[in-house]
Every structure is written in structure tokens, then in C-alpha cells.
């Protein structure tokens, strides 16, 4: 059972990264959008990569450390999405599903680390 949960979370984090890349591609090409977008892109791809790495961890300590990075990066994704929405770089509606997913991933991985 736990193996399937880990597999599902790895896939969910990867799909979050994929959706984030597609979102980035649709951003305006002006300076502000690209600077914020690149920060978001770095964070969103880190979520998928570090989730995968965490579940391949060699020890419980390494697992928790990697998930700590995932939590920070998912939270940072939320920050950049909020900034881009609040400044009008993007409309709130296209950013909302990614922001919801970022917040859900933070909650899920935080609960795992606390166990």
C-alpha cells in the first residue's frame, strides 16, 4: 500500500511540474513576467525532481530532508503565482489550479514529514 501511495505522490508531483512548465510557456514575454516566471519555473520543476529523489532516499533522515525541500519549493510556487496574479502579469483564473495544487502538496508533504 505505501509503495502505491509513494508512486501516486511521485506522479502527482511530476504532473505539477509538467503543468507548471506549460503555464510558464504561456506567460507574456516582457521582463517582469519572465523574471517571475523563471523563479516559478525553477521552483515547480524542483518539486517533481525532489519528490522523486525523496522516495529513493537511503535513510529516513534523507527522506525528511528532501521532503523539506519539496515543501519549501511548493510553497515558493504559491508565492510566485500569487505575485504574478496580484500584479496582473497573469489573470487569477489560469493560476488558480496551480496555486491550489501547490497548497495541497505543501499540506500533504508536511503531514508526511510530521509522522
pLDDT digits (tens, 9 = 90+) for 60-79: 999 999 999 999 999 999 99
Task: List all residues 6 or more positions away from 41 whose beta carbon is below 8 Å from its beta carbon.
Answer: 20, 21, 24
Query: CATH number for the 2-114 domain, one of 3.20.20.140, 1.20.1440.60, 3.40.50.2000, 3.40.50.300?
Result: 1.20.1440.60
Average pLDDT score over the chain? 95
pLDDT digits (tens, 9 = 90+) for 15-33: 999 999 999 999 999 999 9
pTM: 0.93
Tell me the C-alpha distance between 109 and 95, whole Å. Answer: 21
pLDDT digits (tens, 9 = 90+) for 93-110: 999 999 999 999 999 999
Tell me the C-alpha distance between 33 and 15, whole Å. Answer: 23
Tell me the C-alpha distance between 7 and 100, whole Å. Answer: 21
Bigger pLDDT: 4 or 30? Answer: 30
The domain limits of the chain are 2-114
Amino acid at each position: 500500500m505505501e509503495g502505491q501511495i509513494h508512486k501516486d505522490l511521485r506522479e502527482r508531483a511530476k504532473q505539477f511540474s509538467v503543468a507548471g512548465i506549460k503555464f510558464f510557456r504561456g506567460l507574456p514575454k516582457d521582463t517582469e513576467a519572465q523574471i517571475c516566471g523563471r523563479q516559478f519555473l525553477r521552483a515547480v520543476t524542483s518539486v517533481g525532481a525532489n519528490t522523486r529523489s525523496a522516495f529513493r532516499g537511503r535513510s529516513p533522515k534523507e527522506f525528511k530532508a528532501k521532503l523539506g525541500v519539496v515543501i519549501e519549493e511548493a510553497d515558493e510556487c504559491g508565492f510566485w503565482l500569487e505575485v504574478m496574479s496580484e500584479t496582473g502579469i497573469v489573470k487569477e483564473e489560469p493560476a488558480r489550479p496551480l496555486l491550489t495544487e501547490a497548497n495541497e502538496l505543501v499540506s500533504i508533504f508536511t503531514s508526511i514529514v510530521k509522522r
